[in-house]
Amino acid sequence: MSKTISFIGLGNMGLPMATNLIQAGYALRVYNRTMEKGRSLADQGAVLVNTPAEAVTEGAIVITMLANDQALEEVVLGENGILARLSPGSIHLSMSTVSPATARRLAEQHEQQGAHYLAAPVFGRPDAAAAKKLWICLSGNPAAKAEVAPVLDALGQGVFDFGETPEAANVVKVAGNFLIVSAIEAMAEAFTLAEKNGIDRTQVAELFGKTLFACPIYQNYGRMIAQQQYEPAGFKLSLGLKDVTLALQTARASQMPMPLASLLHDRLMAAVAKGKGDLDWTGLASEMSEQAGG
């Protein structure tokens, strides 16, 4: 815990993650576009700065938790970005969900600077982040991964290492989010089918969550879909559209079809076009209810 951590991005996920690092004893320098979001961290001893570059100190570990590729590239490469401030041996732990292509490109630019880029996207909602229950996918330089291991231990319940290829963890992340939104659509159709035939949708969700699909996605998201509770958003529907788009882009670059992802993209796009982008991404299920006359 001798190194200072530079933490950039204090959204629904970033703020509880940064809070856990402070509670674990790390010194933090934090940046967020909306400075007010960092006040609670400042009260706990974090230093708030005005630009991403100001967050970086000699030999610091930099963590970014940002909404999309554009935000990450701006923080890294833009005016007052972090890349120019990284010293040889510095580590950038990129925990955002971004495209594998972006991760690969940024890793190359970090290497030219003598720094290390590690991809470390996470599975888990804000409540899991607060409880240090995130599942972390990791890829990149082995020595850098060993150095950040205690930091990751303070953030999650487990790390899955996908090797040295920088973008590998991001491929896994977009694949995982594709699986989640596929489950959301499947549950929406199944529960609505039951409801249209006079069966309590919450009872159906309880059955499947305890038996055939006894796992967190079907249990937790299943409950939200069954009860049609899509606010407040733990993960916005608009971000789900972004992630399915990333999956399709990655598939195209890999020369493989993803017909189900194409369908889900159109479903999500329609929901966003109707003004549902700020709902939780389980709000995709509302499309099925409406189409079924519910």
Per-residue pLDDT, 2 = 58
Residues 65, 129 share a domain: yes
Residues 226, 255 share a domain: yes
235 pLDDT band (50/70/90 cuts)?
very high
Please, which contacts does 73-76 make with residues 24 or more away whose CB atoms are closer than 8 Å?
Answer: 73/102, 73/106, 75/8, 75/9, 76/52, 76/106, 76/109
Give percent of the chain above pLDDT 70.
Answer: 99
Domain boundary among 164, 198, 231: 164
Give percent of the chain above pLDDT 90.
Answer: 97
- Catalytic residue, candidates 133, 145, 173, 196: 173
Provide φ and ψ at 104, rounded to 5°.
Answer: -65, -45
pLDDT surpassing 80 at residue 185: yes
Into how many domains does the chain fold?
2
58 pLDDT band (50/70/90 cuts)?
confident
pLDDT surpassing 60 at residue 132: yes
pLDDT surpassing 80 at residue 294: no
Domain boundary among 95, 129, 164: 164
Residues 209, 254 share a domain: yes
Residues 88, 38 share a domain: yes
Q: Look at residues 152, 132, 156, 13 and name the one whose alpha carbon lies nearest to residue 71.
A: 13
* CA dihedral sign of residues 253, 256, 261, 262: positive
CATH number at residue 132: 3.40.50.720
Residues 220, 151 share a domain: no
Residues 192, 62 share a domain: no
pLDDT surpassing 80 at residue 3: no
Distances (CA, A) of 30 to 33, 42, 51, 78, 130: 10, 9, 9, 17, 17
Per-residue pLDDT, 41 = 97
- State mean pLDDT over 187-206: 98
CATH number at residue 218: 1.10.1040.10
* Whether 242 is catalytic: no
* CA dihedral sign of residues 163, 166, 168, 170: positive
- Lowest average pLDDT, out of 34-38, 67-71, 105-109, 196-200, goes to 34-38
DSSP lists the bridge partners of residue 61 as 5, 91
Residues 59, 157 share a domain: yes
Residues 192, 103 share a domain: no
Per-residue pLDDT, 204 = 98
Domain boundary among 126, 149, 164: 164
pTM of the shown model: 0.95
59 pLDDT band (50/70/90 cuts)?
confident
Residues 60, 131 share a domain: yes
Residues 157, 205 share a domain: no
Per-residue pLDDT, 86 = 95
Residues 194, 142 share a domain: no
Residues 32, 138 share a domain: yes
Q: Tell the residue number behind the tokens 């038996």, with chain if given.
A: 211
pLDDT surpassing 60 at residue 1: no
Domain around 244: 171-291
277 pLDDT band (50/70/90 cuts)?
very high
Provide φ and ψ at 62, rounded to 5°.
Answer: -105, 130
